[in-house]
Amino acid sequence: MTEGRIRRYAGAALLGGIALAASIATTVVLAQRSAPVATVATAAAATTTAATPAKPASPDADDGGLAWGANYFPNTVLTDQYGRKHRFFQDLVKDKVVGINTFFTSCSAACGLETARMREVQTLLGDRVGKDVFFYSITIDPLTDTPEEMKKYADRYQVGPGWLFLTGNVKEIEQLRRKLGLFDDNDLNNPNPNDHRLHTVIGNQKTGRWMRGSPFENPTITATQIGTWLHNYKLPSSKETRFELAPQILRNPSAGEKLFRTRCSSCHSVNAADRSAAAAQKVGPDLEGVGQRRPRAWLERWVKEPDRMLAEKDPVALAVYGQYNKIAMPNLRLSSKEVAEVLDFINEESALPPDAKRIKQ
Ligand code: HEC
């Protein structure tokens, strides 16, 4: 996969907003010579009032590190889940390869999916996270998200080292999100923070290469972007980042399979016989045969509004919730048609023998 190809995909993704379908198509490569926020703003018709980026110190693309350096990124003081303080630019981003997203601990929508997805990327990158790749999740609800709450959240998802959850001053975090292209002015008018923008920004501060990805991205692709491309191909590919691991997404999967891959597979497998570490790591239950274990009407409602069923104390939902570390399944806002498609796909996949499964992990 060449960079040019990814750039073309990026164009397609922009036209469709955050395309939720094919995973490759959702990556947005920020043009190297313009500042991240400016590109994001035009690209996704996001904020027009985003802070004007500082003039690049040098117009030379090779000098990208200077372009989005101390002049561009603020030194916002942020506190991590262990109570330690960091300056955003100087301590967290300067000279580093980073993955940054926003979240909040009480989120009942897709932030959980994003955290689970990033955790898969972290697993693929192994112990490089914390050494030459750093993950930051910045809360958009700093008043609630104290270091203690963030620590509990990180523990629930069993995130590994090298991934900081960060809180700070409300206004300063808003400014930081604007700089990162992770703020939408619509967020201001929207009383429901569950609707906040879902993106992961990944970049290499020194080379000035920044990309924006969607949480629905295939984790192998994100791991390749962050672990190889952003390192200028200096590192040899590891086994996990082989391109051959991605071919399933190049054939034409059904609507239900696409939905499963993009919205469910970060938390669920459909292969009860799979004893691999990757399968054991999923935060939700294996779904093989769930169509036989539960009535269809229950499943349809559950996939559509798990948050409401938990709130109503549905006994089956509560029992499953209790078994799974009290991680709530997110409300993914699927339509009834999408719910039916994804449940049909789970039934089809369940019927396949282990070595014929299309979902590998
Ligand atoms: C962020 C992680 C996450 C995502 C994404 C997710 N789930 Fe779940 N899911 C869970 C967890 C955790 C549970 C069990 C705990 C609970 O009940 O909340 C669960 C439970 C379930 C159950 C009930 C299983 C049983 O044995 O009764 C079904 C069915 C299910 N999920 C389907 C889906 C489908 C379909 C999707 C995609 C459209 C999906 N989930 C996306 C985390 C997730």
Q: Please name every residue paired with 308 in a beta bridge, in sequence order, or none if there are none.
A: none
Predicted pLDDT of residue 216: 72
Pocket of ligand 1 contains residue 298 by CB under 6 Å: no
pLDDT reading at 108 higher than 80: no
Give the integer Cα–Cα distance in Å for 96 and 228.
14
Give the integer Cα–Cα distance in Å for 285 and 290.
10
Rounded distance from Cα 268 to ligand 1 centre (Å) = 7
Which residue's alpha carbon is at the smallest distance from atom 39 of ligand 1? 264
Pocket of ligand 1 contains residue 285 by CB under 6 Å: yes
Which residue's alpha carbon is at the smallest distance from atom 1 of ligand 1? 113
Which residue's alpha carbon is at the smallest distance from atom 8 of ligand 1? 329
Of 44-53, 193-202, 245-254, 326-335, which gets the smallest average pLDDT? 44-53
Pocket of ligand 1 contains residue 329 by CB under 6 Å: yes
Predicted pLDDT of residue 67: 60
pTM over 0.75: no
Pocket of ligand 1 contains residue 116 by CB under 6 Å: yes
Pocket of ligand 1 contains residue 339 by CB under 6 Å: no
What string of DSSP letters covers 150-171?
A: HHHHHHHTT--TTEEEEE--HH
List Cβ neighbours of 267 (8 Å cut-off, separation of 6 or more). Answer: 112, 113, 116, 282, 283, 284, 329
Give 247-272 pLDDT, tens digit per residue.
Answer: 343 346 788 998 998 899 889 999 98
What string of DSSP letters covers 2-13?
A: -HHHHHHHHHHH
Of 146-150, 192-196, 243-247, which gets the smallest average pLDDT? 243-247
Pocket of ligand 1 contains residue 289 by CB under 6 Å: no
Q: Where are the alpha helices (DSSP H) in 87-193?
A: 111-125, 147-156, 170-180, 185-189
Average pLDDT over residues 206-218: 78
Average pLDDT over residues 161-168: 95
Predicted pLDDT of residue 358: 80
Which ligand 1 atom sits closest to the C-alpha of 332? 38
Of 10-14, 188-192, 216-220, 315-319, which gets the smallest average pLDDT? 10-14
Rounded distance from Cα 32 to ligand 1 centre (Å) = 39
Question: Which of the listed ranges 131-145, 170-184, 209-223, 314-328 does the model predict with the highest average pLDDT?
Answer: 131-145
pLDDT reading at 3 higher than 90: no
* Rounded alpha-carbon distances, angstroms, from residue 55 to 46, 152, 175, 318: 21, 40, 18, 54
Q: Are strands 200-204 and 134-139 parallel, antiparallel or unpaired?
A: unpaired
pLDDT reading at 34 higher than 50: no
Predicted pLDDT of residue 349: 92
Ligand 1 pocket mutation, candidates 300, 312, 329, criterion most atoms within 8 A of CB? 329
The tokens describing 343, both together, are 């449940």
N- to C-terminal Cα separation, the chain:
22
Assign 126 a pLDDT band (cuts: 50, 70, 90).
Answer: confident
Of 18-22, 161-165, 214-218, 322-326, which gets the smallest average pLDDT? 18-22
Pocket of ligand 1 contains residue 272 by CB under 6 Å: no
Which ligand 1 atom sits closest to the C-alpha of 264? 37
pLDDT reading at 59 higher than 80: no
More confident residue, 126 or 44: 126
Of 140-144, 208-212, 241-245, 309-313, which gets the smallest average pLDDT? 241-245
Domains detected in the chain? 3-32+64-231 (3.40.30.10), 255-351 (1.10.760.10)
pLDDT reading at 98 higher than 80: yes
List Cβ neighbours of 91 (8 Å cut-off, separation of 6 or more). Answer: none
- Rounded to 5 degrees, what are φ and ψ at 315? -60, -40
User: CB–CB of 270/349 below 8 Å?
Assistant: yes
Of 50-54, 120-124, 156-160, which gets the smallest average pLDDT? 50-54
Nearest CA to 93 out of 179, 208, 205, 201 is that of 205
Predicted pLDDT of residue 66: 55
Pocket of ligand 1 contains residue 111 by CB under 6 Å: no
pLDDT reading at 149 higher than 60: yes
More confident residue, 343 or 127: 343
Pocket of ligand 1 contains residue 303 by CB under 6 Å: yes
Average pLDDT over residues 187-194: 60
pLDDT reading at 324 higher than 60: yes
Predicted pLDDT of residue 313: 94
Pocket of ligand 1 contains residue 320 by CB under 6 Å: yes
Pocket of ligand 1 contains residue 309 by CB under 6 Å: no
Which residue's alpha carbon is at the smallest distance from atom 36 of ligand 1? 264
Which ligand 1 atom sits closest to the C-alpha of 116? 1
pLDDT reading at 330 higher than 60: yes
Which ligand 1 atom sits closest to the C-alpha of 283? 12
